[in-house]
Amino acid sequence: MDNAFVPMPAVVEDVITETPTIKTFVLSPERPISFRAGQFMQLGIPGLGEAPFTPSSSPFVPERMEITILRTGSVTNALHTLAPGAVVGLRGPFGRGYPVDHFEGREVLVVGGGVGLAPLRALLFWLFHEIDRVKRVSIKYGSREPAELCFRRLHEEWGRLPKVDFTCTIDRPAPGWDGRVGLVTTLLDGLDVDVKEAVVVSCGPEVMLKFVTLKLCDLGFPPEHIFLSMNRNMSCGMGLCGRCNVGPFYLCKDGPDMCYADIKDIPYALG
Amino acid sequence: MLFLGKTRLPLLLSRLAAEYELFAPVPSGDSHRMARSVPGLDPVFPPFRLSSSLRAFWLQPARVLATWSARGPAPGPEPKPRAIIGAKACDLRALEVLDKVLRGQDFVEPAYAAARDRHFIVSGDCTEAAATCFCTLVEGAPWPERGFDLNLSPAGEGFLVEAGSGKGDRFLLAQKDLLDEAPATLVAERDRRRAQVREQVDRQNEMVRPRSPYLQSVGKHLKTRLWGELAATCVECSACNYNCPTCYCFLLHETRDAGEVKRISVQDSCFHAGYSRMAGGGTPRLQLTERFKNHYFHKFVWFRETFGITACTGCGRCVEACMGKIDKRKCLRDLETRWIPTEVVQEL
């Protein structure tokens, strides 16, 4: 049996600066890595350590993986210094990924905050590719300020796709910004969706997930239709090291995307 | 059933030592500890489990999970197989718990799996109970029923010998010259001794005997405030976890030396505030009471629901080790008897 603790080498082909604190690393792994949207990888610098990231690239392109990373800790700080040609290590994929079979024939509401749009981008690739299988895709995205909007270069293109709409907001007014202002939850006001039938997928900071979930419940979305990309310290990726539990669930093997119905009664599941 | 005369035990162990590096209990202060044994030694069989669990034999506090370099994975040297003498029933039940997690799921913890395969376990019945033993409260018994390669039950002037695995069967087959068929009277004596120790464990835990399964009595406290009271004297030292034979949580880190990278797992504890801390500083269980509750829920509710067994063997080492004098048995009794529905805390 292969030792799942040994990483596969991957060459950094390109580094795209998305925002002052977010970069996308385009990686070419030694062998193609098939993954489902929402599954995550452990990306590391040999000898320094690794951290969990959900690829932001298309699950239909296994030979080239993009991972979009916010600089926020020791591993991500080191990753941000890498230039094309560097060799990193990849383990995975881990976790179950988004329950895309559940989306069949439904409206899919995608709610992202900050760098939380990165894992959702892999799902968007899947949804755009399989657009005939869903009724509609509605993307609601928020960030603190215009400079922190992730994948800004792609927003317009996404909004123009058939059966797709894209709306974004920033938390506070900013010079030169004439778009919407307010927390991402304000984008959920006056939704034109069938709340009993639609499914929601959300990824972002824990506090955002909490208030998005509260709002969705207020609006009448059933907890069974709300899927949250949860935040925990996922280390081994295999349900062995024990650090990432939310109640009985280990996010690394049972998540990281959890159905709200499964976790709603667990204290502090959403902070 | 086979019988091994007491005087023949050293010879049987010396034959075991031809294949394995032997570890056996030796007196240490007022207790016993495991030590590397020499062939011919007449081992001491302590009356009950050792103060330290046997976990370090298969889950060393720091262990290398993978080594690799630019040339790819580098296998380390193959360690010599070992035989452990004198394991008790609670030690064996702990292995069932560890096996479920570390080699019973989609992914296997390679260092643990290798360590399990290279150990030959000779267990023994408990002949007394420690004051903190409570195996019978968690569906256990003070004698091994499975999980051993050989089990020795004191009876008459020797031991009844049972094999519990293919490895044990094969070994016993080669020891026919040392073994006799056991008379029924010795089997009856063994059963009587076992019942006596069981009764001792039951008697000393009479005041804390649960009326309902722990799964229910702990499970109903997901949102109550009782935990703060139970954890009042906890100093977060993690002695309970570090002495627990079933705790397996670890922290991964890496070292790099001359192009060779080692991924090392280090024993960790869910009682540490930083245990589940994420990049950016967020910690899901910032309060001690939440970590305390998580410990109980993991062992008595969630593990049971997921794997079908309780992640506590009733060895009582956590009770012995606790500096805050927290007795798990009493906490469990309080959780069962002090149920006040109005104390339920409303969360999101």
Question: Which sequence spans correspond to the domains of chain A?
Answer: 8-94, 100-229
DSSP 3-state assignment of A63?
coil
User: Residue B345 burial (CB < 10 Å; 0-12/13-18/19+)?
Assistant: exposed
The Cα–Cα gap between B247 and B254 comes to 22
The Cα–Cα gap between A69 and A76 comes to 7
pLDDT at A51 over 90: yes
Question: Backbone phi, then psi, for A55, in 5-degree steps?
Answer: -55, 145
Mean residue pLDDT of chain A comes to 95
pLDDT at A151 over 80: yes
The residue of chain B with its CA nearest to that of A263 is B348
Whether A232 and B279 lie within 8 Å, measured CB to CB: no
pLDDT at A204 over 80: yes
Using a CB-CB cut-off of 8 Å, the residues of chain A touching B261 are 46-47
Question: Mutation test of the interface with chain B: which of A243, A250, A251, choosing the one with the most B Cβ atoms within 10 A?
Answer: A243
The predicted structure's pLDDT at residue B284: 86
* Residues 6+ away with beta carbon under 8 Å from B239: B318, B321, B322, B323
Sheet holding B21-28, edge to edge: B31-36, B21-28, B82-87, B119-124, B150-155, B158-163, B2-5, B179-181
What residue type is A138 in one-letter code?
A: S
- pLDDT tens string for chain B (348 positions)? 999 999 999 999 999 999 999 999 988 887 888 999 876 666 788 999 999 999 999 999 999 999 988 666 666 677 889 999 999 999 999 999 999 999 999 999 999 999 999 999 999 999 999 999 999 999 999 999 999 999 999 999 999 999 999 999 999 999 999 999 999 999 999 999 999 999 999 999 999 999 999 999 999 998 888 999 999 999 999 999 999 999 999 999 999 888 899 999 999 999 999 998 888 778 888 899 999 999 999 999 999 999 999 999 999 999 999 999 999 999 999 999 987 665 555 543
Using a CB-CB cut-off of 8 Å, the residues of chain B touching A269 are 348
The predicted structure's pLDDT at residue B80: 87
Whether B255 and A236 lie within 8 Å, measured CB to CB: no
Q: Are A93 and A41 in contact (CB under 8 A)?
A: yes
Whether A253 and B254 lie within 8 Å, measured CB to CB: no
The Cα–Cα gap between A154 and A177 comes to 17
The predicted structure's pLDDT at residue B344: 57
User: Residue A220 burial (CB < 10 Å; 0-12/13-18/19+)?
Assistant: exposed
Question: Mutation test of the interface with chain B: which of A1, A2, A3, A264, choosing the one with the most B Cβ atoms within 10 A?
Answer: A3
Q: Where are the beta strands (DSSP E) in chain B?
A: 2-5, 21-28, 31-36, 62-69, 72-73, 82-87, 119-124, 150-155, 158-163, 179-181, 250-257, 260-267
The predicted structure's pLDDT at residue B223: 86
pLDDT single digits (tens) A161-188: 999 999 999 999 999 999 999 999 999 9
Domain A100-229: give its CATH architecture.
3-Layer(aba) Sandwich (3.40)
Q: ipTM of the assembly? A: 0.91
Whether A232 and B284 lie within 8 Å, measured CB to CB: yes
Using a CB-CB cut-off of 8 Å, the residues of chain A touching B302 are 245, 247-248
The residue of chain A with its CA nearest to that of B73 is A6
The predicted structure's pLDDT at residue B72: 65
Whether B279 and A240 lie within 8 Å, measured CB to CB: no
Facing residue for B278 by CB, picked from A231, A269, A270: A231
Q: What is the pTM of this model?
A: 0.93
The count of CB pairs under 8 A between chains A and B is 119
Question: Mutation test of the interface with chain A: which of B68, B100, B266, B278, choosing the one with the most A Cβ atoms within 10 A?
Answer: B278
Distance from CA of B250 to the nearest CA of A (A): 5
Whether A240 and B102 lie within 8 Å, measured CB to CB: yes
The residue of chain B with its CA nearest to that of A252 is B107
Whether B261 and A46 lie within 8 Å, measured CB to CB: yes
Facing residue for A242 by CB, picked from B73, B249, B254: B249
Q: Are B54 and B91 in contact (CB under 8 A)?
A: yes
Facing residue for A248 by CB, picked from B68, B276, B306: B306
pLDDT bin (cut points 50, 70, 90) of residue A40 is: very high
Whether A235 and B253 lie within 8 Å, measured CB to CB: no
Using a CB-CB cut-off of 8 Å, the residues of chain A touching B285 are 268
The Cα–Cα gap between B335 and B219 comes to 9
Distance from CA of A21 to the nearest CA of B (A): 13
The predicted structure's pLDDT at residue B87: 97
pLDDT single digits (tens) A16-25: 999 999 999 9
Does domain A8-94 fall under CATH 3.30.420.40? My reply is no
